[in-house]
Amino acid sequence: MKSFQELNVSPELLKAIQELGYTTPSPIQAQALPILLAAAPTDFLGLAATGTGKTAAFAIPLIERLDPTIRAVQSIILCPTRELALQVSKQIDLIGKFKGVQALPIYGGTGYGDQLKGLKRGPAVVVGTPGRVVDHLEKGSLKLDQVELVVLDEADEMISMGFKEDLEFILGKIPPGMCNTWLFSATMSPGVRRVADEYLRNPKQVQVNRTEMLPATLEQIYYSTQESNKPEVLCKLIESADRFYGIIFCQTKSMVVDLTQFLRGKSYPVDCLHGDLDQSARERVMQSFRDKKVKILVCTDVASRGLDVQGITHVLNYSIPREMDSYVHRIGRTARSGQSGFAVSLVTPSQRGLIHRIEKFTQRKMKEGKIPTRKEVGTKKIGNLLEPFRTQVNFARAIELLDPSWKQELTGKPVDEIAGRFLCLLFPEIFAAERAPAAAAAEEGGQRTLSIVRTSIRKNSDSDGGSRPYPSPRRDQDRRGGDFRSGGDSRPGKFGKSRRTFERGPRQH
């Protein structure tokens, strides 16, 4: 494969790419860059999903084409979501750093003030979501008469989210004949085909195979379990992982809210993203996740579009998506840039057929995982304490606080008994099962149902029919004094107090 240098990338951009740590072009970059960097401008159709390096595949040639001294919008990139618009804009800034090119992100859900100021400065590149771009065009604050290059990023998503009319309106504002259009899409849906036929002239086309899209460092595992056991299985998987910094995907907003509450109740560092959060809440959640203050992000597909975070160890499908493309989109968030990653799916026995569909679609085998037993989870948790135990430096101060009754209690007890007693204090939930051998044995078989969940759900749906609105994370946050990560209420059965079951509710994002 050719290097970035051999692909004729300019020294300013090479320096920025080097700083970003990109050593070799990804398959989509290796195929697209020779076409998009060629002297003869062309329209382009790139079939590649998120996670393939497609942003740099269009950002590098786009920046090369711009003249940073001209104070007018020369290029516009349209993205389906605010998160993606922000990410693409940041990536343009990073790659364009030494050429003096900066992008202006414009998206909905936030005020117009900064965007209007930014537009007045005449940015070379605007990265926007279709709705807000239309608003600015209608206000006259955005002019596209000097645009030479349009990028439609994740075009399939924009069309499936109902932005087709907005796209047509925007494309109609660009003077015909002087502009190239580059369209990127994970799939060639009929809607994308129609847009491509209408707006691209003799496009050069590049496609990254599905197998190329999935990195070799990605391991796909599924666990078979009943729906009602999923919360418990999920906790076991999180706790038995060497490291867990991951995204959990649910089908609906209500599922996202319920599962987040449940995990928060267990004191996991968790937060969520879904369509009802306003822009500042989304950004706050994303920042906490990037800073690793939040280690578990629960979200819907749409809320997570284009989400690009480094070092994600797990993508967990709490429920498998109906569309195979969503599956590929989801799992593309882990195992990036040569790092290893796990794509974990929870499937009910009746969904096992989906596993074969996924295997066929991704042309990769999935491994069936064995749900760890409580004992295995306990061994792992205790094992994880070894290093922090070794590296404790303040233990002498703790010893000073032991009063005579403590000393008397410890005297003469074997070391492992002392360790055992402290471990019971630290992890009561691990050892609680040992007190009830029959229940523990049933659970080890993975068959135990969360009776507490079922009972409370029944009770709640009897009492209010499930129609009372579920407390939103924002309101919830307010109740807890503004800290999402305060550990929350760890009373058992919190999850069971859900007013909606995980199975119910319309599909919504």
Please report, as ranges, the residues that interact with ligand AMP according to CB under 6 A.
Answer: 22, 25-26, 29, 50-56, 308, 336-337
Output phi, psi for 342, to 5 deg: -120, 130
CB of 235 to ligand AMP, least distance (A): 29
Residues β-bridged to residue 223: 346
CB of 208 to ligand AMP, least distance (A): 10
CB of 28 to ligand AMP, least distance (A): 8
Residue type, 308: D
CB of 335 to ligand AMP, least distance (A): 11
H helices present in 291-414, as ranges: 324-331, 352-362, 374-390, 395-400, 404-410
Residue type, 487: G
Separation between Cα atoms, residue 381 and residue 242, nearest integer Å:
10
Q: Which is nearer to ligand AMP, 167 or 213 (CB)?
A: 213
- Of 228, 234, 64, 24, the closest CA to residue 148 belongs to 64
CB of 275 to ligand AMP, least distance (A): 21
Separation between Cα atoms, residue 151 and residue 200, nearest integer Å:
11
Q: In angstroms, how far is CA 132 from the centroid of its own chain?
A: 23
Q: Which is nearer to ligand AMP, 50 or 300 (CB)?
A: 50
CB of 55 to ligand AMP, least distance (A): 3
CB of 309 to ligand AMP, least distance (A): 8
Q: Which is nearer to ligand AMP, 48 or 134 (CB)?
A: 48
Q: Is 207 helix (H, G, I), strand (E, B) or coil?
A: strand
Neighbouring residues of 185: CB distance < 8 A, sequence distance ≥ 6:
45, 46, 47, 152, 154, 155, 156, 192
Q: Which is nearer to ligand AMP, 144 or 214 (CB)?
A: 214
CB of 329 to ligand AMP, least distance (A): 11
CA-to-CA dists, residue 4 to 15, 91, 468, angstroms: 11, 17, 56
Q: Which is nearer to ligand AMP, 25 or 446 (CB)?
A: 25
Q: Which is nearer to ligand AMP, 130 or 332 (CB)?
A: 332
Q: Which is nearer to ligand AMP, 4 or 342 (CB)?
A: 4
Residue with tokens 């771009």: 133
Q: Which is nearer to ligand AMP, 55 or 304 (CB)?
A: 55
Tally the residues of the chain. Answer: 509
Rg (CA), the chain: 26
- Of 114, 112, 103, the closest CA to residue 79 belongs to 103
Separation between Cα atoms, residue 253 and residue 268, nearest integer Å:
19
